[in-house]
Amino acid sequence: MSTTPLPPLADVLATARVVALPLAAPFRGIRTREAVVFEGPQGWTEFSPFTEYADVEAATWLAGALDFGWEPAPPARRDAIPVNATVPAVAASDVPRILARYDGCRTAKVKVAEAGQTLADDVARVRAVREAMGPEGRVRIDANAAWNVDEAERAVHALCEFDLEYVEQPCAEIDELVQLRERIAYLDILIAADESVRKAADPLLVARAGAADLLVIKAQPLGGVHAAIDIVGRAGLPAVVSSALDTSIGLSMGVALAAALPQLDFDCGLGTASLFIEDVVASPLVARGGLMSLERPRPSSADLDRVAADDERRDWWLARLRRCYDLLEVTRG
């Protein structure tokens, strides 16, 4: 984690607003996405670790928010970012409605292995996505570490007919990813690591173990744009920049990361503002023609009032921010 001095907590709290954004469809069991947004010298930034994460993990997200708000962004190498559509674990019949929210995206990431659902549900959903995307579209799946090795192998065999680009985090453990990669090597389907990077004590271990073909990188959970760029460089693997269901402010952090990477071979998972019914700005950061521009959203007071969380949730989030700030102070001495 960075040793750069923290900005005063009072400066962070001075503009902090807690927001609650309703979703068009449940995502990872979430129907409303909450976040804290605040303004630093470089612009608006976001602190939004998922509510179940402990403070130690959430503190890294705060480091990422502070980095984006107080440190200049690295130079951009491209002026637009190709992004994928994201399809939650909805019924197959709902797939066209979800994909219609994304303008011109040539790639779709499909959530699978949802609790309470079956492999047959996944097959139906992925089939519906492939039919909607056509033979030229790219389809990737994300299991969020829900399968063991045998379950993952069975699922990949059941889904490989849909010409998968890659399978994201099929298993939780690195040794499981190694085993699965060996078992399905003949299928020529790549394995991507997400949780094995952003939730690991050592984010480079998955690369050293040969457990994945590419990394899914998220700026805020890895401590910020600069920290994420360093991890990608040291890992030596291709990277897909993705979001953690961020508001448009948080998405702009991911866009800055994607724009700065030396190499960007895959469409990025930064189009998730299309899943929101409301956002923190009147013009959300969404794909147009499958691309996102390098914007830095600036919400108005009216925008933030419109999506403000209630008092109880506001107090919960601000108390969490203070605890995480205290942890960062200890870490940085």
Q: How many CA atoms lie within 13 A of 177 on its CB side?
A: 31
Look up the CATH number of the domain holding residue 312. Answer: 3.30.390.10
**Looking up tokens 């994909």, which residue turns up?**
99
Pair (285, 308) in one structural domain? no
User: What whole-number percentage of the chain has pLDDT above 70?
Assistant: 99
> Residue 96: how many CB atoms within 10 A of its CB?
12
Q: Which residues are annotated as a binding site?
A: 142, 168, 194
Which tens digits make up the pLDDT trace of 210-261?
999 999 999 999 999 999 999 999 999 999 999 999 999 999 999 999 999 9
Instruction: Provide the pLDDT confidence category of residue 333 given band limits of 50, 70 and 90.
Output: low
Residue 313 lies in a domain: yes
| Mean pLDDT, residues 147-155 | 98
Pair (306, 229) in one structural domain? no
- Tell me, what's the pLDDT at 26? 86
Residue type, 193: A
- Tell me, what's the pLDDT at 69? 98
* DSSP sequence for 136-152: TSEEEEE-TT-B-HHHH
Quick check: 134 pLDDT over 60? yes
pTM of the model: 0.95
Pair (126, 258) in one structural domain? yes
* DSSP sequence for 53-118: S-HHHHHHHHHHHHHHHHSPPPPPS-SEEEB-EEE-S--GGGHHHHHTTSSS-SEEEEE---TT--
Instruction: Provide the pLDDT confidence category of residue 2 given band limits of 50, 70 and 90.
Output: low
Pair (216, 318) in one structural domain? no
Q: Which residues are annotated as a binding site for Mg(2+)?
A: 142, 168, 194
Pair (128, 262) in one structural domain? yes
**Domain containing 244: what range?**
80-293
Pair (186, 213) in one structural domain? yes
301 is written with which tokens? Answer: 């007071």
- Tell me, what's the pLDDT at 27? 85
| Number of domains present in the structure of the chain | 2
- Tell me, what's the pLDDT at 293? 93
- Tell me, what's the pLDDT at 240? 98
Pair (308, 325) in one structural domain? yes
| Mean pLDDT, residues 295-300 | 96
Sign of CA dihedral 72, 75, 79, 82: negative
Look up the CATH number of the domain holding residue 147. Answer: 3.20.20.120
Residue 234 lies in a domain: yes
Which tens digits make up the pLDDT trace of 154-199?
999 999 999 999 999 999 999 999 999 999 999 999 999 999 999 9
Give the residue with greater pLDDT, 2 vs 301: 301
Pair (30, 117) in one structural domain? no
> Residue 53: how many CB atoms within 10 A of its CB?
15
- Tell me, what's the pLDDT at 132? 97
Torsion of CA 31, 14, 299, 76, to 10 degrees: -100
- Tell me, what's the pLDDT at 237? 97
**Which candidate, 225, 306, 256, places its Cα nearest to that of 22?**
306
Residue 37 lies in a domain: yes
Task: Compute the distance between CA of residue 6 and CA of residue 220 in angstroms, rounded to an integer.
Answer: 16
**Catalytic residue list:** 111, 218
Which tens digits make up the pLDDT trace of 60-87?
999 999 999 999 999 999 999 999 999 9
Instruction: Provide the pLDDT confidence category of residue 56 given band limits of 50, 70 and 90.
Output: very high
Instruction: Provide the pLDDT confidence category of residue 28 given band limits of 50, 70 and 90.
Output: confident
| Mean pLDDT, residues 89-94 | 97
- Tell me, what's the pLDDT at 29? 84
> Given the DSSP bridges, would you call strands 107-111 and 85-87 parallel, antiparallel or unpaired?
parallel
- Tell me, what's the pLDDT at 328? 98
* DSSP sequence for 183-206: HTGGGT-EEEESHHHHTSSSTTHH
Pair (206, 254) in one structural domain? yes
| Mean pLDDT, residues 50-59 | 97
Task: Compute the distance between CA of residue 50 and CA of residue 204 in angstroms, rounded to an integer.
Answer: 23
Residue 256 lies in a domain: yes
| Mean pLDDT, residues 273-289 | 96
Residue type, 203: P
Residue 201 lies in a domain: yes
**Which candidate, 245, 251, 324, 326, places its Cα nearest to that of 286?**
251
For the chain, how many helices (H) and strands (E)?
12, 12
The number of residues in the chain equals 333
Task: Compute the distance between CA of residue 333 and CA of residue 330 in angstroms, rounded to an integer.
Answer: 5
Residue 3 lies in a domain: no
- Tell me, what's the pLDDT at 25? 85
Listed as own residue / partner, the contacts of 129-133 with beta carbons closer than 8 Å and 24 or more positions apart are 129/87, 129/95, 129/99, 129/162, 130/162, 130/163, 132/95, 132/96, 132/99, 132/108, 133/99, 133/106, 133/108
- Tell me, what's the pLDDT at 308? 98
Pair (137, 224) in one structural domain? yes
239 is written with which tokens? Answer: 């990277």
Residue 250 lies in a domain: yes
Pair (105, 45) in one structural domain? no
- Tell me, what's the pLDDT at 332? 83
